[in-house]
Structure 1
């Protein structure tokens, strides 16, 4: 099994899901609405910050049941996440229908829509794989991957500035 695969599988070993239509203020996080927009910012213990695109559907997850979010299940739209190195004990995981993205300390986006998940890294490194796979890729700053359902190879690409700007604008950046 590849190193990214081992890391992601270990990250998911204790995951349990509380499925909600929209995430509520819980799991050690507090919501802050962004004035004049439909976006929200979640400020969580351990320095984790999540910017939520308006209309996103997601659930916060506390895998180790210590009262702090250490994973999120994203079903629609985008999140911009910033997890300081060493901040979230055991790392942080984003699970979507098509992909799993796991980190220990970084800043990255995950966007779900139209049958695919797109992951882009601004800082740090992010391991990405399909949920039913042990093979994955590791993204560095400026790199992204589009994950569609299926079993094909994941292709890491340097994203063009226009694509990055469009995604970041949706997140108020």
Structure 2
């Protein structure tokens, strides 16, 4: 009887963990995770050719239509992720400020208080503000800073800014 209660409590805790954080959510979507160092990050491989590198402190939830199905989106509420999707297919990063939809293969999304920055390394990504008008499509070397209520302005990012962001993923 006591072991039955303990088993139910463990199952409830496991279900709760599946609904929060990157490490648990990826298992629900058929993904596997490994830790990488220097800098510390989680490397998450998912069905459909999706690779996500998440900073160690990133707050992400991977969403898939069914267990073991290819994920369709990631909710990112803090820190940064680098996405490599080969071959390109429909996929989104949802932040409090922006929606970044894949039109290509490698891009980074960084969330801070009041701002989401999106940078494209290879391919193309469509970025739309969650609040306010407008959407833009970014190409290689381009980025946009999304702030609620402000227009989206595509810029070629300086090499120093690109290097700082990609260094967070050991690149």
Whether the TM-score (by the shorter chain) exceeds 0.5 is yes
Report the counterpart of residue 106 of structure 2 in structure 1. 107
Q: Any unmatched runs of 5+ in structure 2?
A: 1-17
| Residue 145 (1) aligns with residue 147 (2) | no
Give the secondary structure class of the aligned counterpart of 1:165. helix
Q: Any unmatched runs of 5+ in structure 1?
A: 1-17
Which structure has the greater CA radius of gyration?
2
RMSD: 1.8
Distance 2:142 2:19 in 1: 30
**Does the 8 A contact of 1:84 with 1:104 survive in 2?**
no
Q: When the two structures are superposed, what TM-score results if normalisation uses the length of structure 1?
A: 0.80
State the Cα distance separating 1:49 from its structure 2 match: 0.5
**Does the 8 A contact of 1:39 with 1:171 survive in 2?**
yes
Structure 1 pair 123/103, CA: closer, same or farther in 2 (3 Å)?
same
Per-residue Cα deviation, 1:54-98 (whole angstroms, up to 9, x for no partner): 100010011x33622121000000000001134x4xx11000000
State the Cα distance separating 1:169 from its structure 2 match: 0.7
Which structure has the higher relative contact order (CA within 8 Å, separation 6+)? 1
Q: Between Structure 1 and Structure 2, how many residues are aligned?
A: 151
Q: When the two structures are superposed, what TM-score results if normalisation uses the length of structure 2?
A: 0.81
Given candidates 44, 54, 61, the residue that maps to 1:42 is 44
